[in-house]
Amino acid sequence: MFYILRAMQGDVLSTSFNASREFRVRIVERPGLTLAPDGLRALQAGCRTVVRACLKGQSLDYGLFAEGSDAWDRSVITLVTRRSDGRPVAFNAMPLLDVLHGGDRKTVLHLGLVMVDPEERSGGLSWILYGLTCFALFLRQRMRPLWISSVTQVPAVVGMVAETFSTVFPAQENTRQNFTHQHLAHQIMQPHRAAFGVGPDAGYDPERQVITNAYTGGSDNLKKTFDLATKHRKDGYNQYCERELDYARGDDVLQIGAIDLAAGQRFLSRSVPKSALPQLAVQALVLMTGTTLAPLVQWLDSSRPLGRLRASQ
């Protein structure tokens, strides 16, 4: 069941529910700030279990797993476990990146690190790991558009981002780079490289939004050849990656897009299994109700100083 917590300067998302007969999903926003120490350690241990399964005992040294990192304070974590034995089988870590847009401070949701236990990669988890958290945050902010970013060299992910979200550049057919794409990409590449494991020595081509020599900032173990990278069912995305990225050097593409009402509808109609729609509808209803009632409850709380916004006595 969705529920709203208070942490630091805003409401945060925390939910846990059964996504299918096989899997249970937990989504926690900013767990370093919102979870008790024991709960945080359990969540961290679950993510590390998945990393070890994916990298055959090797570890990662960036983002959540960098020594002394505060990434747990500024990320949204989605952890998938098997219902039968509680074993963690997949997770997604989405950093929340602070940017300026239109003169206001905004947050870009970076799709971040996705890891799936090799034994479960045919288990139909992509809709949970790539879309569900974005959709939940979109509903939480009352369906106002939410900017997203993705850094990858995997053609399947490039295609998934292009087909799931709106106004995506590059790789989305008929979408050209505009000022917002350039502006957000520039801000992401300046202070936020560490969030996706790109070192300071990596290059960046702003016209193509391609990061060159990207695997030198702790993400070295994720570098792939084109032959090993998972391909998309539409060969156009595979051709784009092979043409634009130097896999021997270790290039990534930086995609910028948004989740809006159209993207939300595409996610529900194309990505979510029909068997999961009733459960997802219940969760969405509770979340939307919470985001509507929470401001009203806060407004009626006489202990909160709201100045002119307070109802007259």
Q: For 64-73, write each residue's pLDDT tens digit.
A: 887 777 899 9
What pLDDT, on the 0 to 100 scale, is given for residue 6?
A: 35
Q: How far is CA 208 from CA 126, 181, 199, 256, 297, in A?
A: 27, 11, 19, 12, 47
Beta bridge partners of 205: 210
The bridge status of strand 75-82 relative to strand 3-7 is: unpaired
User: Is pLDDT at 313 greater than 50 in this prediction?
Assistant: no
What is the percentage of the chain residues whose pLDDT exceeds 70?
83
User: Is the pLDDT higher at 157 or at 127?
Assistant: 157
The CA-to-CA distance between both ends of the chain, in Å, stands at: 36
Residues 197 and 219 sit within 8 Å (Cβ to Cβ)? yes
User: Is pLDDT at 301 greater than 90 in this prediction?
Assistant: no
Q: Which two tokens stand for residue 68?
A: 């002394």
Mean pLDDT over 266-283 rounds to 67
What is the percentage of the chain residues whose pLDDT exceeds 90?
51
Mean pLDDT over 72-88 rounds to 94
What pLDDT, on the 0 to 100 scale, is given for residue 194?
A: 83
Q: Which two tokens stand for residue 247?
A: 């896999």
What pLDDT, on the 0 to 100 scale, is given for residue 289?
A: 54
User: Is pLDDT at 7 greater than 90 in this prediction?
Assistant: no
Of 36-45, 163-172, 301-310, the poorest mean pLDDT is in 301-310
The bridge status of strand 252-259 relative to strand 146-152 is: antiparallel
Beta bridge partners of 18: 24
Residue 265 banded pLDDT, cuts 50, 70, 90: confident
User: Is pLDDT at 45 greater than 70 in this prediction?
Assistant: yes
Dihedral of the CA atoms 49, 54, 58, 63 (nearest 10)?
-70
Of 79-93, 177-191, 216-230, 269-283, the poorest mean pLDDT is in 269-283
Q: Return the H-helix or E-strand segment holding 261.
A: helix 261-266
User: Is the pLDDT higher at 164 or at 140?
Assistant: 164
Mean pLDDT over 90-111 rounds to 90
Mean pLDDT over 292-301 rounds to 51
User: Is pLDDT at 10 greater than 70 in this prediction?
Assistant: no
What pLDDT, on the 0 to 100 scale, is given for residue 267?
A: 83
* Cis ω for the linkage preceding 273 (within 30 of 0): no
The residue count of the chain comes to 313
User: Is pLDDT at 308 greater than 60 in this prediction?
Assistant: no
Q: How far is CA 85 from CA 23, 28, 78, 122, in A?
A: 10, 21, 18, 18
Nearest CA-CA partner of 218 in 203, 229, 202: 202
User: Is the pLDDT higher at 162 or at 58?
Assistant: 162
User: Is pLDDT at 298 greater than 60 in this prediction?
Assistant: no
Of 56-60, 69-73, 141-145, 177-181, the poorest mean pLDDT is in 56-60
Nearest CA-CA partner of 278 in 19, 16, 13: 19
Sole residue written with tokens 């990434």: 71
What pLDDT, on the 0 to 100 scale, is given for residue 41?
A: 94
Residue 84 per-residue DSSP state: T
Mean pLDDT over 260-288 rounds to 70
